[in-house]
Each structure stands twice: as C-alpha cells, then as structure tokens.
Amino acid sequence: MPNHNSALQSNGVILSPDAKGTKASLMEYKVFNPALRGLTPEEQNILDNRPRDIKQEERDIMTDTSVMYHRDVAYFHSSDADYLRGCGCQDGKRYDHRTGKVWDETIKGTLDRVYKINFIL
C-alpha cells in the first residue's frame, strides 16, 4: 500500500496510508531566506521622529552614562517597533543599519536550500 503525504511541517513529513494526500515517492522541501525590503511609510515616520538631544548625547559620551540609549529603547518600545533599533528581531523583522532596509521573514527571499526526500514505496 503506498504512503501519501498528509502534512508537511518544519520538523518532518507526516505520512498516511489513505489517499487523501499526494503520493509521496519524491518530495522537495525548499527553504528561503527572508527578503530585504524598504521601509514602509510608518516605519520611516518612526525613524524620522526619533528623539534626539545633542547636548545629552555629548554628556553621555563625557560621563559614560546611557540616558539617550534608554530613551531610544523606550521610544521604539512604545512605538511597537523594537526591531527598528537594529538589535534584534520582532515578529520576523530586523532592521539593517548598513542598508537602511528591513529583513522580513514574511516575504520570500532568495532560495537558501532544497531538501529532496525520497520514499521507498
């Protein structure tokens, strides 16, 4: 009795002997990198309105304090855009300071790898 693919997950393939799924003799599983996209108008607005205090930044440098850093953290957190700080991911998004763009896992980017799965039926 041939096996049929009934579900494909990130950690494996679930096979079923009934004919509800597709016949599974050779299957490809493709993994894509996240896409690098430009900023949305909302994201650009958040970055443009980032609080700046040049005198406080100079004080931070001279006295080894981090007042402006904590203001940045609070501002991006209150804007629900922590990823725009460029220090981590949030909802699959990460800001890239080098390019000024956002890595977005919800958009399919370049092909990273292909798994070919052979089943003996």
Q: How far is CA 40 from the centre of its chain?
A: 15
Q: What percent of the chain has pLDDT over 90?
A: 35
The average confidence (pLDDT) of the chain is 81
Specify the pLDDT at position 1.
43
Strand partners, 35: 104
Report in angstroms the alpha-carbon separations of 37 from 25, 30, 96, 107. Answer: 37, 21, 10, 9
Query: In terms of C-beta density within 10 A (0-12 exposed, 13-18 middle, 19 or more buried), how is residue 102 classed?
Result: buried
pLDDT tens-place string over residues 5-53: 555 555 565 556 565 555 556 677 888 889 999 999 999 999 999 888 8
Confidence label for 68 from pLDDT (cuts 50, 70 and 90): confident
Query: Which element (helix H / strand E) includes 6?
Result: strand 4-9
120, 27 contact by CB (below 8 A): no
